[in-house]
A = this chain, B = another copy of it.
Amino acid sequence: MSTRVIEAAEIETMDKRFRANLINSVSGFKSANLLGSINKHGKTNLAIFNSVVHIGSNPPLLGFILRPTSVPRHSFENILETGYYTLNHVNDKIVEPAHQTSAKYPEGQSEFMATGLTEELLDGFPAPFVSESQIKIGLRFMEEIPIKINATRLVIGQIEMLILNEKYLAEDGSLDLMRAGSLAINGLDHYHQAVDLKKLPYARP
């Protein structure tokens, strides 16, 4: 085994893309979600996010990190306009169109149309879900928290609606993400399926 120690000074002088790949994979596996939104003129938007994080269960809150210069800013503009958005798990059957939503399409073109993923509008929820996703979350925007150190934002929403296939819901409330085909992301572009290792009981001394 050849141990490599990389210090701050070396990270600072790395090629930009090399550093982005390294730092994006060093945090471990990430979730893969499609964020669906719509503006006040009815134009939809769909963007892949790998930074969704659990904020709390009661009330049920999820957050994501918004970069200052990233494509998904349209998503955030729509969220501010309507107050609502959706998160939809990427699964093995839609990995290619899901990744493709990160392309910079011309202004005015919806990523739903461009990638072939299907908009699903449900009565009473003002943002589009992704029909092909097996686990869909409708959220109400709660707050944006500025992260001044690098001009990013933590965007927090409260879960208003869950839409899922009942067979993935276990008796204890947990979802079988593996059977649902939900993917994990390594870095920016490497998608993985999950295989079962171990479910462990509540830990006691």
Query: Which residue of A8, A195, A204 has the most chain B CB atoms within 10 A of its CB atom?
Result: A8
Q: Is A54 a contact partner of B150 (Cβ separation < 8 A)? A: no
With A and B bound together, what is the CA distance between A28 and B61 in angstroms? 13
Residues of B within 8 A of A189 (CB): 199-202
Q: Which residue on B lies nearest to A175, using beta carbons?
A: B25
Q: How many copies does the complex hold?
A: 2
Q: Which residues of B contact A199 (CB under 8 A)?
A: 189-191
User: Which B residue's beta carbon lies closest to that of A135?
Assistant: B26
Kindly state whether residue A53 has any CB partner on chain B within 8 Å.
yes
Q: A26-B137, A173-B20 are in contact. Are A192 and B194 (CB under 8 A)?
A: yes
* Contacting pair A198 B203 (CB below 8 A): no
Task: Please tell me if A152 contacts chain B, counting CB pairs below 8 Å.
Answer: yes
Query: What residue in chain B is nearest A140 (Cβ atoms)?
Result: B8
A193 touches B194 (CB 8 A): yes
Contact partner, A55, options B29, B101, B152, B156, Cβ 8 Å: B152
Per a CB cutoff under 8 Å, which of B3, B147, B184 touches A156? B147
Mark contacts of A14-33 with chain B using CB atoms, 8 A cut-off: 1 yes-contact digit, 0 otherwise: 11111111111111111111
> A33: nearest residue on chain B (CB-CB)?
B28
Does A147 contact B11, Cβ atoms closer than 8 Å? no
Q: A3-B164, A202-B189 are in contact. Are A23 and B54 (CB under 8 A)?
A: yes
Q: Measured between C-beta atoms, what is the minimum distance from A40 to chain B in Å?
A: 23
Quote the shortest CB–CB distance from A43 to chain B (angstroms): 17
Q: A26-B162, A59-B149 are in contact. List 13 more A-B contacts (CB 8 A).
A: A2-B165, A8-B158, A23-B56, A23-B60, A23-B159, A27-B53, A28-B89, A29-B29, A55-B150, A101-B203, A145-B147, A193-B194, A194-B195
Q: List 7 interface pairs A-B (beta carbons < 8 Å), by A numbering.
A: A5-B162, A20-B173, A28-B33, A28-B182, A29-B30, A174-B190, A186-B194
